Amino acid sequence: MAVAQKLQLIQKMQIKGGCRLEGVTSVSGGKNTAVAIIPAVLLCDEPCVIENLPDIDDVRVLAEMMRHLGASVALEGNTMHIDPRGVSGHSVPAKLAQRMRASYYLIGALLGRLGRAEVPYPGGCMLGPRPIDQHIKGMEALGATVVCHSDGVFAEVDELRGNDIFFDLVTVGGTINVMLSAVRAVGNTTIYNAAKEPHIVDLANFLNSMGARVKGAGTDIIRIRGVQKLRGCTYAVIPDQIETGTLMIAAAATHGDVTIRGCIPTHMDALTAKLLELGANITDSDDSIRVRSNGAHRAVNIKTQVYPGFPTDLQQPMSALLTTARGTSIITENIFEQRFRHLMEMERMGASARIVDRVAIIDGVSGLFGSSVYVTDLRAGAALVVAGLMAEGVTEIANTQYIDRGYENLESKLRSLGADIRRVEVEDYSPMIEIIRE
């Protein structure tokens, strides 16, 4: 048996670095909000219209999963019409579930609707171990029997009953999944040590628009009074906090002057504070942020935290910016075990970084140069785009499907601000090894 790599046409993102970003752009709807709100429609007995959805692969895959379960779904641009009345299926196919992380929200939503859910283990970004023990603990506290087998999770319950749930750690996914299970449970549920991210608040607002009774979202105690029935509604998801942050970082990284419209500046406070600390100039209004930079950036230290701390999802693009800041930056990744693989790719562009467990020590260099790099996860993709914008020469980014999972029209937004960025099809060796039997 011999092993060979296969030469094939693959899509890459090509960036000619060194262009200063300048102008006005707008932010799309929140990915991590959208992927919680779409499954939540399963809890309702009437059609819903969800607006301001980002036009990204994760949303399209969720639409397919909802159809598979029996919902009627029409996705037109950024609006999804979902009629969940025909839902009778409780089982999600692996080929869909494994394409994204948020497929696990279907466990909570299907338990709430049908009392039964069979969902393969989710896919999504590989950031180290991503257990779901707290989701399961919460659902079991509500009376469900949850069995984890080799292919996925099977959960079943005759009647969900409200209870007190104290999470061992703060989990965004666990908080959302238990909220979904609890809104139609009999009685009251209290979630202690809940996550406080903006999308938790947005989900609570959506559930309440359907007639649920959720209080306290945005604090660490969420109280839910179960209701028997939810009604249809029209709801627009909040702007994407991480896309806003990525654009802010790209503006500073290119010594640019960019105004981002349609965002919620208070959601960006942790990033804004760090960008000010490194030397950028930031002003905001009710729904826009302007980032200006002359490029004289100082090193800063970052510790990722749950909201309102510095978000792990912006750690990666921010560390790209820090590769050329004057001095040594220390980044501590407290949420995920392995979220520094982008830095190894950036070493090919001249970055200097040492990684010790969950700490990255970045020694600022005078500049990056273009190279061929490979995306390992969604925000690593964003980080490599930022690095490509900063670098001298051409950067070719492979494995861009990760970026398409979570950013709507990133290239055209950056292009409209002056970036030289495009998709190309090039002949390359497939990263997949092909085994040839002799």
Q: Which residues belong to the active site? A: 125
Helix 241-253 and helix 31-40: axis angle, to 10°? 170
Here's the x/- map for ligand EPU, 78-97, by CB under 6 A: it reads as: --------------------
Residue from 335, 373, 384, 417 touching ligand EPU (CB under 6 A): that is 335
CB nearer ligand EPU, residue 176 or residue 183: 176
Determine if 171 is a binding residue for ligand EPU (CB under 6 A): yes
Residue nearest to ligand EPU (CB): 173
Applying CB under 6 A, does 379 fall inside the site for ligand EPU? yes
Give the neighbor-by-neighbor strand order of the sheet with 221-225.
164-166, 188-192, 221-225, 213-215
Q: Closest separation between CB of residue 382 and ligand EPU, Å?
A: 9
For residue 342, the minimal CB distance to ligand EPU (Å) is: 12
> Is residue 133 a contact residue for ligand EPU (CB under 6 A)?
yes
Residue 169 binding ligand EPU, by CB under 6 A: yes
Nearer to ligand EPU, 297 or 358 (CB): 358
Q: Given the complex with ligand EPU, which of 76 and 131 has the nearer CB atom?
A: 131
Residue selected from 15, 35, 65, 349 as contacting ligand EPU according to rule CB under 6 A: 35
* Among 185, 302, 170, CA closest to 245: 302
Binding status of residue 243 toward ligand EPU by CB under 6 A: no
Position 302 contacts ligand EPU (CB under 6 A):
no
- Least distance from ligand EPU to the Cβ atom of residue 397, Å: 17
Which residue from 15, 61, 71, 125 is in contact with ligand EPU, where contact means CB under 6 A? 125
Q: Does 143 bind ligand EPU (CB under 6 A)?
A: no
Q: Residue 336, interface with ligand EPU (CB under 6 A)? A: yes
With binding defined as CB under 6 A, does residue 312 bind ligand EPU? yes
Give the range of 170-178, 216-224, 250-258, 325-333 binding ligand EPU by CB under 6 A. Answer: 170-178
Give the per-residue SS3 of the chain: CEEEEEEEEEEEEEEECCCCCEEEEECCECHHHHHHHHHHHHHCCCCEEEECCCCCHHHHHHHHHHHHHCCEEEEECCEEEEEHHHCCCCECCHHHHCCCHHHHHHHHHHHHHHCEEEEECCCCCCCCCCCCHHHHHHHHHCCCEEEEECCEEEEECCCCECCEEECCCCCHHHHHHHHHHHCCCECEEEEECCCCCHHHHHHHHHHHHCCCEEECECECEEEEECCCCCCCCEEECCECHHHHHHHHHHHHHCCCEEEEECCCHHHHHHHHHHHHHHCCEEEECCCEEEEECCCCCECCCEEECCCCCECHHHHHHHHHHHCCCECEEEEECCCCCCCCHHHHHHHCCCCEEEEECCEEEEECCCCCECCEEECCCHHHHHHHHHHHHHCECEEEEECCHHHHHHCCCHHHHHHHCCCEEEEEEEEEEEEEEEEECC
Q: What are phi and psi of 296, to 5 degrees?
A: -85, 85
**Residue 134 sits in the site that holds ligand EPU (CB under 6 A):** yes
Q: Does 102 bind ligand EPU (CB under 6 A)?
A: yes
Q: Which residue has the tokens 């069995």?
A: 147
Quick check: 392 and 368 in contact, CB under 8 A? yes
CB 257 → ligand EPU: shortest distance, Å?
27
Please select the residue that binds ligand EPU; options are 3, 76, 131, 425, rule is CB under 6 A. Answer: 131
Contact between 339 and 316 under an 8 Å Cβ cutoff? The reply is yes
C-beta of 57 vs 83, nearer to ligand EPU: 57
Residue 172 in the binding site for ligand EPU (CB under 6 A): yes
Pick one of 32, 244, 246, 400: the residue that binds ligand EPU (CB under 6 A).
Answer: 32
Query: Does residue 415 bind ligand EPU (CB under 6 A)?
Result: no
The answer to whether residue 358 forms part of the interface with ligand EPU (CB under 6 A) is no
Task: Verify binding: residue 341, ligand EPU, rule CB under 6 A.
Answer: no
Strand 302-303 vs strand 328-332: parallel, antiparallel, or unpaired?
A: parallel
The CB-of-265 to ligand EPU minimum distance in angstroms stands at: 19
**ω before 239 within 30° of 0 (cis)?**
no
Determine the interface stretch with ligand EPU among 127-135, 287-295, 390-398, 422-430 (rule: CB under 6 A).
127-135
Q: Check binding of 313 to ligand EPU (CB under 6 A).
A: yes
Instruction: Pick the closer one to ligand EPU by CB: 35 or 69.
Output: 35
Tell me: does residue 378 bind ligand EPU (CB under 6 A): yes
Q: By the criterion CB under 6 A, which residues form the site for ligand EPU? A: 32, 35, 101-102, 125, 129-135, 169, 171-174, 312-313, 335-336, 378-379, 406
